[in-house]
Structure 1
Amino acid sequence: MTASFSASPSASARGVYTICPTPFAADGALDLASIASLVDFQIEAGVHGLAILGFLGESHKLSQDERSQVIKAYIAQARGRVPVWVGVRALGIAGAVEQAREAERLGAQAVFVAPLDTTADAVQFDYYRTVAQSVRIPVVIHDFPDSFGTEISADLVARLGREGGVGMIKMEEPPVGQKISRILELAQGSMKVFGGLGGVYFLEELQRGAVGTMTGFAFPEILVRIYAHHAAGDLAAAAATFDRYCPLIRYEFQPKVGLALRKTTYMRRGVIACDAIRAPGMRMDPLTARELEATVRRVGLSLDQRGPYVIA
């Protein structure tokens, strides 16, 4: 298979990498057909890569066999058109290495790795360096203390870039601006920063030097357009697009219920067949569903749109 992206994933990594959900049927079984349609939709929307089995990919609710099926399905449908990055989260180094090696064997172009729970910086450094040394594909730090309960200091991130063979981070610790600036200052060119957090701070992340975002948002074409404006140097257009759609970006990125909002939006747009979430997970109530529809309508969009919008 001949990929259409650069042979150096670290060098070419930038832009919008959508954190994809894991589609399920109403009975909770994996829906591999919806993975295929979701991949095609994302690529049509112009995303630069796909990130799967992250926290909102419900990876912690999958069996090992299901995890393998999901990786294979995403990579097979992507067909080299965009890179696929795979999430890794384990209780120890051995488990993380096993997951990273499996992702590499199945064709992933990178892995984004959650930290060990409540562990000192020296142990975290050895953990990430060991995972990086165990595979030939890039390792991305997944810094999301609100979900993982572990803070990763800017000093540790920079040291991993300079000495640990880990050159990218998905950084999701507010206030994002200050930490991005500190990482880039300390890393001395050895670390690329991707934002996250639903795109809520995407504009500020780019302005601080982030190379893109790794996040879930069920209108990815909006994030793609913001990035394109910024990359072209049209900062006013990037800000105008961000400001126009910020109410929707904010509403979808709600703690606990955000995944339900995202899956419902994808289902309504015809991208996946069902919005099922495996337990534990919060579902939407009827009032929330009406709020979602009203918010989408308020920014000039519709949940009934089939295919990506052309965003100005």
Structure 2
Amino acid sequence: MTANPATTDRLATAKGVFTICPTPFAADGALDLASIASLVDFQLEAGVDGLAILGFLGESHKLSQEERGQVIRAFIAQAKGRVPVWVGVRALGIAGAVEQAREAEALGAGAVFVAPLDTTADAVQFDYYRTVAQAVKIPVVIHDFPDSFGTEIGAELVARLGREGGVGMIKMEEPPVGQKISRILELAQGSMKVFGGLGGVYFLEELQRGAVGTMTGFAFPEILVRIYQHHAAGNHAAAAATFDRYCPLIRYEFQPKMGLALRKTTYMRRGVIACDAIRSPGMRMDPITARELEATVQRVGLSLDQRSPFVIA
């Protein structure tokens, strides 16, 4: 399959840190569009290379179709073309995925990252991704997160999508990440770019294996940016030192079921969003967890009370 030239250009320049952004809500559960604006500005101050919205962290499955459009418009309007905004797609079938992808493209998204169909054969999954890629002119990114989606996408299928399906990127979140990244790149023969994820817990190893960056949520994105900058400059020792210094916080924030609450609370404490509300269903923080979070942040030399991004060595 011949790729669209515009898509190829976007694939060629896609690299670095793409923050998976939460969707801010007011205390009553309504969308907080003003906090979307301040969240975008904060991410840009932190030096991120792109924004990713309406993923699992973005509570997209808790939004109405109308709200989904409002969120996309708000992020893209505030980004003002300074960085690309990639939009998550998750549907029960091909028609729904195509509809979501086309809506994102029409509203100005730079790419869509697409969750797999639930438990289907590789042949069906291949046709699904290829069809979505043919339906839009922006890049389609495979969202490979079996712990949340319940569907495994093997390296062989990923590589085939790169070679034959017009899909040239994957957000890869299946441990052990190192082995799968190496296998994908070996089989894809230059047709697939890999972004890491999983909260940044394996960011250093992902880069060392050939990932071009990460797409993940982390409420101190300036840390991930600095790790990437060191690695891209060839200063691998500095990248490792920065990763090692802040790994306790990266690990603590990426807790299954609790990660969203930790991130929203951190963003609220940093003055980035007005409220840490989560729509049901979703786990909330208890007072002990709040104290643990504060202690972990302090232990790595940071503070929850600073709104502007920290200068990271």
TM-score if structure 1 supplies the norm length? 0.98
Structure 1 distance, partners of 2:28, 2:39, is 19
Indicate yes or no: 2:40 matched with 1:39: yes
Structure 2 distance, partners of 1:43, 1:119, is 38
- In the TM superposition, residue 8 of structure 1 has moved relative to its aligned partner by 2.4
Counterpart code for 2:54: L
Deviation per residue, 1:265-305 (Å, 9 max, x gap): 00000000000000000000000000000000000000001
Structure 2 distance, partners of 1:63, 1:11, is 34
Counterpart code for 2:220: F
Structure 1 distance, partners of 2:80, 2:290, is 35
1:197-212 to structure 2, matched below 5 A, reads 197-212=198-213
Indicate yes or no: 2:147 matched with 1:120: no
SS of residue matched to 1:57: coil
How many percent identity over aligned positions?
A: 90
Deviation per residue, 1:24-60 (Å, 9 max, x gap): 0000000000000000000000000000000010000
| Ranges of 4+ aligned residues in structure 1 off by more than 4 Å | none
1:125-164 to structure 2, matched below 5 A, reads 125-164=126-165
Structure 2 distance, partners of 1:157, 1:175, is 16
Note the aligned Cα RMSD (angstroms). Answer: 0.8
Structure 1 distance, partners of 2:286, 2:23, is 21
Indicate yes or no: 2:168 matched with 1:167: yes
What is aligned with 1:283?
284
Counterpart code for 2:83: V
1:234-245 to structure 2, matched below 5 A, reads 234-245=235-246
What is aligned with 1:67?
68
Counterpart code for 2:141: V
What is aligned with 2:229?
228
Structure 2 distance, partners of 1:203, 1:241, is 10
- In the TM superposition, residue 7 of structure 1 has moved relative to its aligned partner by 9.2
Counterpart code for 2:182: S
Deviation per residue, 1:225-268 (Å, 9 max, x gap): 00000000000000000000000000000000100000000000
Structure 2 distance, partners of 1:28, 1:242, is 35
SS of residue matched to 1:50: strand
Counterpart code for 1:47: V
Structure 2 distance, partners of 1:36, 1:280, is 25
Structure 1 distance, partners of 2:235, 2:204, is 12
SS of residue matched to 1:248: helix
1:87-98 to structure 2, matched below 5 A, reads 87-98=88-99
Structure 2 distance, partners of 1:121, 1:290, is 45
SS of residue matched to 2:91: coil
Structure 2 distance, partners of 1:49, 1:215, is 11
Structure 2 distance, partners of 1:220, 1:80, is 20
SS of residue matched to 1:104: helix
What is aligned with 2:87?
86
- In the TM superposition, residue 9 of structure 1 has moved relative to its aligned partner by 1.6
Structure 2 distance, partners of 1:63, 1:232, is 43
Structure 1 distance, partners of 2:58, 2:211, is 23
Indicate yes or no: 2:283 matched with 1:274: no
Q: Which runs of 5+ in 2 are unaligned?
A: 1-6
Indicate yes or no: 2:251 matched with 1:246: no
SS of residue matched to 1:56: coil
Which sits farther off after the overlay, 49-58 or 6-15? 6-15
What is aligned with 1:194?
195
- In the TM superposition, residue 306 of structure 1 has moved relative to its aligned partner by 1.5
Structure 2 distance, partners of 1:280, 1:8, is 39
1:99-114 to structure 2, matched below 5 A, reads 99-114=100-115
Indicate yes or no: 2:50 matched with 1:49: yes
SS of residue matched to 2:57: helix
Structure 1 distance, partners of 2:131, 2:165, is 9
Structure 2 distance, partners of 1:235, 1:213, is 16
Structure 2 distance, partners of 1:10, 1:83, is 12
SS of residue matched to 2:51: strand
Q: Which runs of 5+ in 1 are unaligned?
A: 1-5
What is aligned with 1:307?
308
TM-score if structure 2 supplies the norm length? 0.97
